[in-house]
Amino acid sequence: MKRFTALVFAMLLACGCSTQPESQTPAIGPRIAFDQEEFDFGPVAEGIELKHVFKITNTGTETLQITKAASTCGCTIAKLPKSTLNPGASTRLTVELDTSMKQGEVTKTVDVDSDDPDRPKVILAMHMDVENRHKSLSEHSKAKFLTDEKCINCHVAQGVGLFGEELYKADCGMCHGEDAQGKVGPSLIRDYKDPAVRNYVLEVTAHGSKRHASMPGFLEDSGGPLAKVQIDSIIEYLATLKEKK
């Protein structure tokens, strides 16, 4: 038996194999690693705040510098307590999300930039399924859509001073689609030569929907951010669009 064991050991040495596990050598330079790069909250209620923590580790041999950790959406806030990580060190990136004015399947992302030469930008994704599309939105959340600082960043600020197509894409496209074919909100491709259709879309855009609380009024007189001439310019733009075949 001893002779057999010695023979096996000799064969392993001859083929360059090792009986001991190899230790993983750290990559040269700064290297960013995450415990996970996607997270699914699953079914969630509308109008609540969610929180998730991502662990970031420097698995390289040199100091890692994180230069950015942010989302382009005002409802998603990233908090990074430590931006410089020595080799082997870790930190926690806390992401807070507000589900107000969201319906159905939603994904929010956070961009993390660093001096990792192989992965200078990593996009972290958080998925959720917001319940009761167009039905459970409270009056508080409806008002919050046009007044809350986080919501204003996406739903109001980007349309300031714009008209027509630019204004539509800034304030309306995120819900009704960039081409107005519909998204979480309905399609706005209609026969605007029909006065009844035109007046209906104008009324809902200006003063909000009586059937769907997720559509607030955008006219200044209804508490919104837009002047009447801006509302009119959106309708004029929509009248130029045609349904895709």
Q: How many Cβ atoms sit within 10 Å of the Cβ of residue 129?
A: 15
For residues 100 and 16, the model is more confident at 100
Q: Is residue 94 part of a domain?
A: yes
Convert the pLDDT of each residue in 210-240 to its tens digit.
776 667 888 888 778 889 999 999 999 999 9
The CATH number for 66's domain is 2.60.40.10
pLDDT of residue 22: 45
pLDDT of residue 213: 64
Q: Is residue 26 part of a domain?
A: no
Q: Is residue 203 part of a domain?
A: yes
The CATH number for 203's domain is 1.10.760.10
Q: How distant, in Å, are the alpha carbons of 97, 181, 185, 228 from that of 77?
A: 6, 30, 25, 33
- DSSP H or E stretch at residue 160: none
The residue assigned the tokens 């705040």 is 49
Question: In this structure, are 173 and 232 located in the same domain?
Answer: yes
* Total domains, the chain: 2
The residue assigned the tokens 């330079």 is 29
Which pLDDT band holds residue 30 (cuts at 50, 70, 90)? very high
Question: In this structure, are 103 and 51 located in the same domain?
Answer: yes
Question: In this structure, are 161 and 220 located in the same domain?
Answer: yes
Question: In this structure, are 124 and 162 located in the same domain?
Answer: no
Q: What is the mean pLDDT of residues 59-86?
A: 93
What share of the chain has pLDDT > 70, as a percent?
77
Convert the pLDDT of each residue in 109-142 to its tens digit.
999 999 999 999 999 999 999 875 445 445 555 5
Note down the domain range covering 191: 156-238
Residue 139 backbone dihedrals phi, psi, to 5 degrees: -65, -35
Q: Could you tell me if residue 111 is left (phi over 0), alpha (psi between -120 and 50 degrees) or otherwise beta?
A: beta
Q: What is the mean pLDDT of residues 187-192?
A: 91
Bridge-based pairing state of the strands 84-85 and 104-114: unpaired
- Name the residue among 199, 195, 196, 175 with its Cα closest to residue 187: 175
Supply the DSSP symbol for 52: E
